[in-house]
Each structure stands twice: as structure tokens, then as C-alpha cells.
Structure 1
Amino acid sequence: MKKVSIIIIICIVGWITVSNPFVSEYLTIKKESSLPAAKVSDPLYQSIIKNAHTYDIAPKDATIDRVWKAIPGYNGRKVDIKASYKNMKSKGVFNEKKLIFTQIKPKVHLKDLPPSPIYKGNPDKPMVSFIINVAWGNEYLSEMLATLKRHNVSASFFLEGNWTKKNPDLAKLIVSSGHEVGNHSYSHPDMKQLTAARAREQIVKTNEIIEAATGKKCVWFAPPSGSYRDETVKVAAEFNMMTVMWTVDTVDWRKPTPDALVSRVMSKIDNGSMVLMHPTESTAKSLDRLITQIEQKNLKIGTVSELLSEERVDQ
């Protein structure tokens, strides 16, 4: 009986400690008192403690949006008081630019959601991604790759299996240039019309060809023309692949002028946007200006994997 009473007392004390902010504050003070007295009494250290909460940001859980379907989560951040103090100590004055943060992960991740297509990244993440679907347009690839390299930008190229089979060297060049590759089906069918068995065949065959040519496993699937049904998404999920769509369409296959293409994209682009494009003359001639204007909006450009990750880009 005595043992049971002790356990109950421990549980009550533990609950009070977690739920009572005054107890938590007391423990924080006690913890600080174990630090060197000079550090605890330093006005700079106290200033960091006082201001830290104003820079903290709560994490955002991954969720299913009614319109945009699966939306990835986004890490929050919390000021690392000790590291920030060390970073500011030499000048002895508070400087928000020298704050050091630790990232706080959300409770719900993209992988926790039921299979659902992804049209955009988290709206709080100041990053965008280029989705370049490749089934033709070889003559424009070298110019596009050169432009991306000049700007030190990585994109995600979704390769058709049949194209990769015929152009393994180009597929390998895309990867060696630092870009990500994804699955764009084998023969560019209307995935919405395919049985589950046929959909599996398209995905598996393409995965095998891309891996053989580049050494890379595909984790993203982009259905041709954006045509899919729920079963298509579930089939991709069987192979631990998520289905990717787009937020902004360049409509480059209609051969718009570079001015029209840039204007169309820049009027729609925002945090988390995924921009659909192909190796076309319109895109090749627009890409340099497009990258410059996107970066002028303080948006970083990364691969689909980078965009859809929970990692913050403001640190």
C-alpha cells in the first residue's frame, strides 16, 4: 500500500510540474542557477531570455486540404538561448540577427496522411520548385541545364520511362548536374483510364529503367497531363511513392512568348508553388528571367523533395 501511495504522489507531482506554468518557471530559474553566476546575471543573457518567445514559431502539421489535397507540415523554431548567448557574447549586446534556433518538428507528417495528390508545398515555406516533365524536347535540355547551373538551382525532372530507355545518357546527365528525377509513367498514357494492374506496370517499369540509367530510386510520381484517379494515387503509394501535381502551369506546350510565360508564372507564384514546365523553346528562353524574378521575390528554388520537406529555409 505504501508503495502505491508513493507512485501516486510521484504522478501528481509530475502532472503539476508539466501543467503549472509557475512551477515550470521555477524549474527554469533553478536550472539557470546551476549555470555560472556571471552568465546568469549578464544583462545580455537575461535580454535573450526575455525576448526569446517573440521569435519562437509553432510547427505546422501536415493536413488534407479540401482544395489543395495533401499539404506537407513545416517545422517550427525555438531560440537556443545558450547558443545565442555564445554567439552574441563577444560584443555583449543583443542582436536578433545572431539568434540561434532549433527546429521543432510537427506532430503530423506527410507520410501520416492517407494517399492523396500533392499540389503545393506548405504555404508558410518561402520556397518553390520546378517540375520539368520530360518525354520529348531533347534539343532544349542542354540550354535549360546550363541556365539552371548558372543560377545554382536544382529542379525535379520527371522522366518518361520510354524516353529514358532511349536517352539514358541524357537521364544520367540530369542527375550528374545535381537535379532530382521522378517517375512520369512509361508510355505517357491517361492514368485515369488504366486498371490498377496497368498502372502498376507503368510505374514499376519506369522505376526500373530510371534506376538502371541513373542509379536513383524514384520517390515521386507525376501522372501525364495530370490525369489520375484515387486508385492511381493508391497504386503509387504501394511503392512508397507520392503523387505530385502542380500549382502553376507554364502552358509552355502552347508555345507562348517568353514575356507571356514569365508574366503568367509571376502573377501566380507564391510560397510553396510547384511550377510545371517541359523542355520547350518557350521555357528555355524564359528560364533565366524566371529564376531571377522568383529570387527577387525572396523565394528560394529547390527540388520537390526540398520543397515538401519540413525543414525551414529561414535559418
Structure 2
Amino acid sequence: MTNFRIWAVGCIASFFLLGVSLAFISMNDQTQTTSGTDDLYEEIISNKAKYEKPAENAVIDKVWKKTPGIEGRAVDVQASYNKMKKDGVFNEKMLVYKRVKPDISLEDLPSSPIYRGHPDKNMVALLINVSWGEEYIPDMVKIFSKYHVKATFFIDGAFASKHKELVQMIEDEGHTIGSHGYLHKDMAQMSENQAEINMEKANEVLYALTNKKVKWLAPPSGSFTMNTVIAADKLGMETILWTVDTIDWKQPTKQVLLQRVLGKVHNGATILMHPTQVTVDSLPELIEQLKKNYRIGSVPTLLSENR
């Protein structure tokens, strides 16, 4: 029995000494690891300001009126460190960012027309105003599909009633559908109430065909007053104008149309066109040229705060 006790005490002592040794080794390794990686952590902290961007609020610009904000980005130090610690060296390509939302969004601003996206956003939007030209729409839709482009079609309510299949084709392809009013009437000549009635009539037709609330209005011929903008706002709609015009309804040559756009395009541009033969002929080259420097998106994507 005495021998057993001596053996047991010896085993316990051996395990205790082994545990102390392992703990010391682990502590020593931890100290080395912490010491080695603290430098990397500190380097990320010291460099992060160079890569961060502040969020910018939506504003009503003196010239460009209602202008969307754009989100900022902040370096996630811990997540970036976790990605880099395997190599143990700072690598800007492995930085992880957190999105920083603006304090003021478009929805927070009073009624005002919108002409463009944020000037720092490397994107443009194609706007197609539709109250005629039904024979060209299928070709335009095919071209957009081929180049994986989403456009925004502002469709007249009366036109939509006559050409339901075209509206549904546009909808099925994932393009954004907005309103071009009803019967292409001059909204600048309407009272607020008259404009609201006109928009509601168009919206009813478009909603019946798409089952989606209409959020965007392009006044016919770009003719509007604040009555138009306020009426649209009451219906939960934004009034959209443009910054670059193809003037395709005057049937320019393809080269002239391309020059009109490519010579004036800019970050956040809204490019106006219509369903015409010259537009169909120009679209492939126009899209290819635009894609060299810009992304092409729908109006909702252009006006979103996503950088």
C-alpha cells in the first residue's frame, strides 16, 4: 500500500511539472506571437486613414438640384489583421472595409428635380423616354441583353395601354420602368392637381402591367414646373431629368449621336434617348465605349448611396 502511495504521488508530481512546462512554453509562444503581430496591427492602424473615405450627404445643389449622397468606407482593423496575419506583412489589397452610411439621404430632402448621380460615382444611366417608336424597342432590349445592361424606360401611360406586350417584355428583362405621364402632355402648363391626376392615370396603367409601384417620373420633353415636382413627390415619385442628350429624335447620323454622348459624358451622367433607328444602330458601339470608363446602371442603382 505504501509503495502504491509513493507511486501515485510521483505520478501527480510528474503531471504537475509537465503542466507547468507546457504552460511556460505556451506563454512564451504567445508572447512571441503577440510581439510579432502587434507590429502588423499597429501598421494597419497607422495606414488606415489613407484608404478610408468619408460618407457624403445628399444635398440640393444650386445648379444640379437634388443630388444623392454616397457612402463612405472605414477600415475594419481587426478583420484586416485577421486576413494579413498569416503572411505577417501589411498588404493594402487585403484591407477589409465597413460601409459608412450618410446621415442625409435623398428621401430626407424636400421636393426637387434630379439631374444626375453623385459626381464621384463612376457610373452612368441610360434613360429611354417612350411615347412612340414601338418598332424599335425589341431591338433595343436585345442589345441591352447582349451587353448585360439595365436601362430605365420612362413609358407614357397611353402608349403602355396600346403596347402591353412591350411593357411586359421590358419588365421581364429586368429594366426599370418609370412614368412619362399620360398622352405626352406639357406638364409645365398644368396645375399641381392636374399634374397629379395625369401621373395617377399613367401609374394605374403601369402598375397593372408590372405590379410595381412607379417611383420615377420623366416629364414629357423635360417640360415642368415645381407644380410637377411637388405632385410627383405627393405620389412618392422622384422627377428625373438628364445631363446628356442624344437628340436622337432629330435623326442625326450615328457618328453625331456618338459624339454628342461621348464628348459630354461624366460621372453620374443621365443619358437621354428614344426608340429610333439611329439609336438602335448606335447602341452597341455606344455601350462598348461607355464601358471602357464607366459602369452602366439603372436610375435606382445610379442614385443609390453605394459607392
Query: Contact between 1:183 and 1:220, CA under 8 Å: does it hold in 2?
Result: yes
Q: How does 1:63-212 map to 2 (within 5 A)?
A: 63-212=59-208
Percent of aligned positions that are identical: 45
Cα deviations by residue, 1:26-82 (Å, 9 ceiling, x for unpaired): xxxxxxxxxx87467513333222211111111111111111111111111111112
Query: Contact between 2:195 and 2:227, CA under 8 Å: does it hold in 1?
Result: no
Cα deviations by residue, 1:144-202 (Å, 9 ceiling, x for unpaired): 11111111111111110001111111101101101000011011000000122221111
- Which of 199-208 and 94-103 deviates more? 94-103
**Structure 1 Cα separation of the partners of residues 97 and 296 of structure 2:** 22
Cα deviations by residue, 1:187-233 (Å, 9 ceiling, x for unpaired): 10000001222211111111111010112211111100000001110
Query: Which position in structure 2 is the counterpart of 1:30?
Result: none
Query: Contact between 1:39 and 1:45, CA under 8 Å: does it hold in 2?
Result: no
- Which of 96-105 and 230-239 deviates more? 96-105
Query: Which position in structure 2 is the counterpart of 1:300?
Result: 295
**Structure 1 Cα separation of the partners of residues 193 and 183 of structure 2:** 15
Unpaired segments ≥5 residues, structure 1: 1-35
Q: What's the C-alpha RMSD, in Å, of the aligned pairs?
A: 1.4
Query: Contact between 1:77 and 1:101, CA under 8 Å: does it hold in 2?
Result: yes
**Structure 2 Cα separation of the partners of residues 40 and 78 of structure 1:** 26
Question: What amino acid sits opposite 1:309 in the alignment?
Answer: S
So what's the TM-score if we normalise by structure 1?
0.84
Cα deviations by residue, 1:278-304 (Å, 9 ceiling, x for unpaired): 11111111111111111111x111110
**Structure 2 Cα separation of the partners of residues 159 and 40 of structure 1:** 65
So what's the TM-score if we normalise by structure 2?
0.87
- Which of 226-235 and 196-205 deviates more? 196-205
Question: What amino acid sits opposite 1:127 in the alignment?
Answer: M
**Structure 2 Cα separation of the partners of residues 90 and 256 of structure 1:** 60
**Structure 1 Cα separation of the partners of residues 80 and 248 of structure 2:** 47
1:117 deviates by: 0.3
The alignment partner of 1:115 has SS state of coil
**Structure 2 Cα separation of the partners of residues 71 and 242 of structure 1:** 12
**Structure 2 Cα separation of the partners of residues 89 and 214 of structure 1:** 51
| Pick aligned residue for 1:56 from 38, 52, 66 | 52
**Structure 1 Cα separation of the partners of residues 233 and 282 of structure 2:** 34
Structure 1 53/205 Cα, relative in aligned 2: closer, same or farther at 3 Å?
same
- Which of 71-80 and 194-203 deviates more? 194-203
Tell me if 1:245 matches 2:241: yes
Unpaired segments ≥5 residues, structure 2: 1-29
The alignment partner of 1:173 has SS state of helix
